[in-house]
Chains A and B, each alone.
Chain A
Amino acid sequence: MAQEVCSLKAQLQEKEREIAALKEKLAQLEKSHNSVQLYDKVTPLTPLRAKAALSNEDIMRYSRQLLLPELGVQGQLNLSKTSVLIVGCGGLGCPLAQYLAAAGIGRLGLLDYDEVELSNLHRQVLHGEENQGMAKALSAANAVNSGSGAFRKSGLFLDRGVAASCGQQLVMFDAQDARFRSIKLRPKQAGCVVCGENPSITQLVDYEAFCGAAATDKCRKLNLLSRDQRITVQDYKAVIDHAEPHLLLDVRPLVEVDICHLPFSLNIPLSSLEARKSEHIRLLQERISQLKQQMAGDCRPPVYIICKLGNDSQKAVQVLQKMSGSELDVITVKDICGGLMAWANRIDTTFPQY
């Protein structure tokens, strides 16, 4: 017995040494093969030199564009000494980086403040499922893997619908209407603080301070109500568990309700409440009357309002409070803090998130 334990321990140690050796070998290989690097600060890079000539492999790889007289060999060589900084590795930055890398650009800089999320993948096509949580600049750089530098800092500018631009001309494509539009732009401004004759901004500045706006597309949290006008998802769970009579009103647009909803909720979008749509107000009053009948005695039927994140639900509370006692019977209205996403995070983890 003791002998067997000793032998197994020895074998285990041997395997652990093997694993460590393999890990080191893998790390070294990855290091030597990966020229992608993530920078958090402005870092001078070695100057980019033009290729003296195209190799046979270059000629085959770029043959289809080399045949275009507008590009040709000289154009290809010019591309090889050109650096492009792509600001924003999202829905436009991804395909742009991919096409520039494929076409033979000399150096690509990728800049983004954000990390990859699952909801990005359907349009930000360089990022993969396995890269969730990784800096977008790094994820995109790994995907194009062409000696790019990745940068994480600052914000992003994106132009949806703006397809291409060249010298004071902008071509726009509206895919919904299948329509192109060509627009005349003004020339460069002599007084521009960045690219004018006497620029005052000659190095990177704090983007958010410069724009006077936060570099984020994440949702802001509203705080319109006092504490006693709100309940937590845990408290709402207790309301359900104790089978307390109440009305749950979901104020999201129908398209979002179709994605997911709580089965016992009544859906009336916030916009309908704000516009006092008569058929919706009537429906709401009917449900409040039913609730009143269920409840014994003289009381204010409780109405809980829910939305995705708990912003619109607060606005809806304010709208309903104004209607309480006039267009509607007197009610007690509260909103559910954090909405359905808080419900999904804290109460029912099988509830879908979007």
Chain B
Amino acid sequence: MAAPIAIHLEFGGGAELLFDGVKEHHVTLPSQSEPWDVKQLLVWIQQNLLKERPELFVQGDSVRPGILVLINDADWELMGELDYQLQDQDNVVFISTLHGG
């Protein structure tokens, strides 16, 4: 069993509007048999935090194109994207970069 982990989630660039306008969330992911990865985190966010229009946040089992994902201030593409295994105290940021200008 993997122990519960506490992580810090942030939503910005307009993505926070899908979360009642709240940008910062300190959350604890419950213990489960395998370590938490980003793919499972996205499901957890959808079930526990996302307030509206899930189609603007997720597409398939990944985030919608145009949303920048940062893990500890690095592009998630450097970290293994969906397969990255979350560590206690990780900081995960989702920033929407597509808007009408």
Contact = CB atoms under 8 A, between A and B. Distances in A.
Contact of A88 (B65, B78, B101): B101
Contact of A183 (B73, B96, B99, B101): B73
Contacts of A217: 99-100
Interface string A243-280: 00000000000000000000000000001000000000
B12 interface: yes
Contacts of B65: 211
A106 interface: no
B: interface residue count bin: 10 to 19
Interface in B1-53: 12-14, 23, 52
Interface stretch (A41-49, A157-165, A333-341): A157-165
Contact of A160 (B52, B70, B74, B101): B101
Nearest to B24: A177
Nearest to A88: B101
B25 to A, nearest CB: 15
A122 interface: no
B75 A90 contact: no
A184 B101 contact: no
Given A161-B13, A177-B23, A156 B75 contact: no
B97 interface: yes
B77 interface: yes
Given A160-B14, A174-B12, A184 B73 contact: yes
Provide the main secondary structure of the chain B interface.
loop
B58 interface: no
Interface in B49-101: 52, 65, 70, 73-75, 77-78, 95-101
A158 B98 contact: yes
A156 B95 contact: no
A301 interface: no
B13 A186 contact: no
A53 interface: no
B14 to A, nearest CB: 7
Listed from nearest, the 10 A-B pairs whose CB atoms lie closest are A90-B101, A217-B100, A158-B101, A91-B101, A184-B74, A186-B77, A159-B97, A185-B75, A160-B99, A161-B13
Given A123-B101, A184-B73, 13 more contacts: A158-B98, A158-B101, A160-B14, A160-B101, A161-B12, A174-B12, A177-B23, A183-B74, A184-B75, A184-B78, A186-B75, A186-B77, A217-B99
17 contacts: A90-B101, A91-B101, A92-B101, A123-B101, A158-B100, A158-B101, A159-B97, A160-B13, A160-B14, A160-B97, A161-B13, A162-B97, A181-B73, A183-B70, A184-B75, A211-B65, A271-B52
